[in-house]
Structure 1
Amino acid sequence: MEKSSNGKLPFRIKLGYGSAEGAGSSSWNLIYIFLLYFLTDAVGINPALAGSILMIATLWDAFTDPFIGIISDNLKSQRGRRRPFLLIAALPFGITLWLLFTDFHLGFAYHVAMVVLFFTFFTMMNVPYQALGAEMTQDYNERMSLVTFRSWWMQVFTLASASLPMVFVQVFGEALGSISAGWSAMAAVFGAISILLILLTWRTTRGYELFPENTGFKLRDIYDVIRQNRTFRYTLGIWTFSIIALNFVVSTALYFFTYVMGFGESMTGMAFGVLIAASLIYLPIIDYVAKKKSKRIAFIIFAAFWGVLSVVLGLTITGPEDSTIFWIGLVTSGAVSACMVYQLGWAMIPDVTEVDELMSGQRREGLYFGVMAFIQKIASALAFQVIGIIMAWVGYQPAVTQTPETLLGIRMLMYEAPVLFLIIAIVIAYFLPMTRDKHQALCEILKLKKEKKEYDITPIKDLF
């Protein structure tokens, strides 16, 4: 055990912990940036039906999240509660990612089956992985630091998974004789890398597990954590609405680049590359503001920045003739949106688990991360379905010149639609009761409670 008494983590541990996020983020981006396009333009599935595949997948993922979290909370193992899931899920995670982008000409049912299988193993890896981070340190700022390392991995592999797939598809497609084979080979590469990244986290985090003695579960706990934990309800709202806003951008971006800006494969890859490379610049800035002010204030500042610029860009970008404004927007509003939602959301969620520990006497990180993922993905599934329906409604047809009405619809999905959800998230963040001082006071009270000493919850009563 290498844990320090003050909750600080060594550099190599934080770096190694983040690697599994490379697998999660690259696969997530492959699915939510490219799968809809793959299904409509490569497989030939109707846009509304393709949107249904994503909705089914996301709903399945959502419903399994709380249960995997609960199982990991209650697992009794010499290797901890979370790490065994990483080891079990690593290989099938990579294999099913490859199969998801492999077209055996089996139609709609095949792609539904593959996406359900993939998300089963994605959840087995991702929920325990996120809960592990909350266990590794209970220090407010150190959690922000750990999440920033995780975010670096996210952005690097988001850069790779956003900018390289279309290049790989073209190169492998030419080498193997078909675009379909190119998609399959591209996914095989990312699948193999994902396996290695998950195993790296599994190995690096050894010795940083918690072994709580008091664990248990009742089915109504899934509902009670929302009803009884006021801080969690606010955090849940911030996370969910900001994720929906980001989903509109991510799912529409490829269509926007291709049809509004007129980009080919190489320029599309370049646009994604510039976006993610620019977002790396904002990671330390967001980290600094969150530590200096608070996670809540940082969220309000950067969400407002994203929203205001998004409105301006939506009104000024109409096509390739506005490329200068597009590139400026990409490295400002786009780059901030690409990192701030996850970086700040991931850092806020662990703090609510100490509120629950004071109320319940249990460490239930898995339950909380599972419920967060469940609510997020239910909302996201509906968002993806809405996007697919709107795309069909505005007359989108693959691989043809789009009508002005269709282009307007794509522009609004890209820029205006996310702002509605950002406004809601900002309002909720303004009223979030958790602060750095209150979290520190909460941890002190927990310490007194464990030592069976008297304590006063008056300074933090609004957290409950």
Structure 2
Amino acid sequence: MQFSLYGLPQFAISTTEVFLRLHLVVYLTKIVGLSGTQAGAMVSASLIVSSIFDPFIGHYSDLMKEKLGQVKPFIMGSLLSLSIFIILIFIPDWIPSERVLLFILILGYQISYSSFLIPYLALAKELIKSEEDIVTLYAWRYFFGSIGAMVGVSLPFLGELFPAKNFAPMGLAMVALIILFAPTALSRIKEKVQKRKIERQSTKLFQSLLHLFKNNVFSGYYATFTILSIGLGVNQTLAVYYYQNGLKLTEGETSILLGVYMLIFCASIPIWVKFAQKKGKKLALTLGLVTMCCVTLIYPFIPSRNFVALYSLIVFAGVFTGIVALIDSYLSNIIDFHTYKQSEKKANLIFGVWRISDKLSRALGIYIAGIILDYTVYNSQSSYSIKDAFGYGVFLFLLAASIIFMLQKYNDQHHKKVIRILKQKNPDLLYKAEELEP
């Protein structure tokens, strides 16, 4: 019950985030009237600029936790601002000349989203009763997030029901889901008000960042995640083009295929959770990353409209892509190691820095995918095909991420030793579980 309640807010947030990823540029071009270049630049710039705020969000939410003993008010406030910005983006009738104001609103949405996500991810550390629980906790988040993603993909049907209202029904639906699910679930989590008793004063932001990136364990995993995210960003951007242009599928066939993939992905998460709890997160992530590399090499060889081969590959890919549900839980291990090294709790700051990589790598992945499209789909004289790019191009990123990750010496046994030392020498630095209201 506790873990599922923690994951439930991600349902509404993922619905919103996936819808915006897929349709914000469409809204800006078809409804507002911006050019494709203007719309793409606006969204990319909002990601880049908002990433500057992420470490500050993490740092000051850490300070709130230290001084007030709780961070949940910070999360609740971000949900309110998130809803306001969604309404302001989609409800008014914008015109191209108001693009500066519209950019500010989109930037506000991005900052509000980070203001929710960073302390929300860090809050998980306060809810676990054993270190193995963090895998299950984040898996629930991914599970509800995946369901939300499917809802986000389906939201445009509201536009067909209310054609005269443009994107307003979708905007109101997203806000309704946020208000209905997120505060209700979070309110059931009873965050224990406990001010941290740290012997020395909390370090300043830039000093904390310096300590963080001097931590080789964190830097190695950060590099792994960044490269992996770029590869996945390229994969997600090119997927529809691969299926429709490369394999000659219709839009309906592509939607069904992606729906099956998402179902397999969701179903695989509990399998990876059990595997990680028994064999360790490091082994599970290594196995998943290496297998994902191998899978990408198969994509160029799938014959057009060969549904037996295609669905077989989709099932296999969906199972092993479920490994991404362990990414945040492994970061939890890194947070414990950094806490041990620096004698400070900086989970919110670390998740803030993590968000920078997520945003910038996504923007870079989209940019690289655009270049690939210019050389393949939109260049009839090119000797390169979208099938080759979708396979071999993504493979290079996944291979690099896998190699960097496997070279990292820190593993689950090291993490258990860190927890044991903290329990013995400085138990105040351990993240403690909180109880839910009955």
Q: TM-score, normalised by structure 1?
A: 0.81
- Report the CA distance between 1:72 and its aligned residue: 0.6
- Report the CA distance between 1:263 and its aligned residue: 5.7
Give the SS at the match of 1:75.
Answer: helix
Aligned residue type for 1:439: H
Tell me the number of residue pairs that the alignment of Structure 1 and Structure 2 aligns: 424
Moved more, 370-379 or 216-225: 216-225
Aligned residue type for 1:206: K
1:149-298 correspondence to structure 2 within 5 Å:
149-162=140-153, 164-169=154-159, 171-172=160-161, 175-177=162-164, 181-208=165-192, 211-214=195-198, 216-257=202-243, 259-260=245-246, 266-298=252-284
Aligned residue type for 1:353: I
Out of 97, 102, 105, the residue aligned to residue 95 of structure 2 is 105
Partner of 2:300: 314
- Report the CA distance between 1:208 and its aligned residue: 4.9
Query: Does the aligned pair in 1 maintain the 2:246–2:385 contact within 8 Å?
Result: no
Change (3 A) 1:209 1:30: farther
- Report the CA distance between 1:443 and its aligned residue: 1.2
Aligned residue type for 1:154: G
Q: How many Å separate the matches in 1 of 2:288 and 2:328?
A: 15
Q: How many Å separate the matches in 2 of 1:219 and 1:347?
A: 24
- Report the CA distance between 1:439 and its aligned residue: 1.5
Q: How many Å separate the matches in 1 of 2:62 and 2:406?
A: 31
1:313-462 correspondence to structure 2 within 5 Å:
313-317=299-303, 319=304, 321-334=305-318, 336-337=320-321, 339-341=322-324, 343-392=325-374, 394=376, 396=378, 404=380, 410-412=386-388, 414-450=390-426
Query: Does the aligned pair in 2 maintain the 1:235–1:348 contact within 8 Å?
Result: no
Aligned residue type for 1:436: D
Query: Does the aligned pair in 1 maintain the 2:234–2:368 contact within 8 Å?
Result: no
- Report the CA distance between 1:160 and its aligned residue: 1.8
Query: Does the aligned pair in 1 maintain the 2:15–2:152 contact within 8 Å?
Result: yes
Out of 61, 76, 79, the residue aligned to residue 90 of structure 1 is 79
- Report the CA distance between 1:258 and its aligned residue: 5.1
Give the SS at the match of 1:104.
Answer: coil
Query: Does the aligned pair in 1 maintain the 2:61–2:348 contact within 8 Å?
Result: yes
Aligned residue type for 2:424: L
Change (3 A) 1:65 1:138: farther
Q: Structure 1, residues 331-382: CA drift from partner, whole Å, max 9, x if none?
A: 3214533x322x1111111112222222222111011111111133223222
Give the SS at the match of 1:349.
Answer: helix
Query: Does the aligned pair in 2 maintain the 1:168–1:186 contact within 8 Å?
Result: yes
Moved more, 71-80 or 440-449: 71-80
Query: Does the aligned pair in 2 maintain the 1:53–1:112 contact within 8 Å?
Result: yes
Give the SS at the match of 2:298.
Answer: helix
Q: How many Å separate the matches in 1 of 2:241 and 2:167?
A: 18
Q: Structure 1, residues 140-178: CA drift from partner, whole Å, max 9, x if none?
A: 31111111111211121122223x134333x23xx333x
Q: Structure 1, residues 391-449: CA drift from partner, whole Å, max 9, x if none?
A: 456574xxxxxx65689664455433221111111112212233222212111111222
Partner of 2:432: none
Change (3 A) 1:409 1:210: farther
Aligned residue type for 1:176: P
Out of 24, 29, 34, the residue aligned to residue 23 of structure 2 is 34
Q: How many Å separate the matches in 1 of 2:389 and 2:25?
A: 15
Q: How many Å separate the matches in 1 of 2:364 and 2:374?
A: 15
Moved more, 46-55 or 192-201: 46-55
Q: How many Å separate the matches in 2 of 1:43 and 1:260?
A: 32
Change (3 A) 1:240 1:208: farther
Q: How many Å separate the matches in 2 of 1:210 and 1:236?
A: 30
Query: Does the aligned pair in 2 maintain the 1:58–1:378 contact within 8 Å?
Result: yes
Query: Does the aligned pair in 1 maintain the 2:230–2:364 contact within 8 Å?
Result: no
Change (3 A) 1:32 1:225: farther
Q: How many Å separate the matches in 2 of 1:405 and 1:256?
A: 18
Q: How many Å separate the matches in 2 of 1:191 and 1:42?
A: 20
| Long gaps (5+) in structure 2 | 429-438
Moved more, 327-336 or 422-431: 327-336
Moved more, 418-427 or 370-379: 370-379
Q: How many Å separate the matches in 2 of 1:119 and 1:373?
A: 11
Query: Does the aligned pair in 2 maintain the 1:69–1:369 contact within 8 Å?
Result: yes
Q: How many Å separate the matches in 2 of 1:245 and 1:286?
A: 21
Query: Does the aligned pair in 1 maintain the 2:244–2:250 contact within 8 Å?
Result: yes
| Long gaps (5+) in structure 1 | 1-11, 397-402, 453-464
Q: How many Å separate the matches in 2 of 1:67 and 1:155?
A: 28
Give the SS at the match of 2:55.
Answer: helix
Out of 59, 68, 75, the residue aligned to residue 70 of structure 1 is 59
Partner of 2:123: 132
Q: How many Å separate the matches in 2 of 1:451 and 1:195?
A: 37
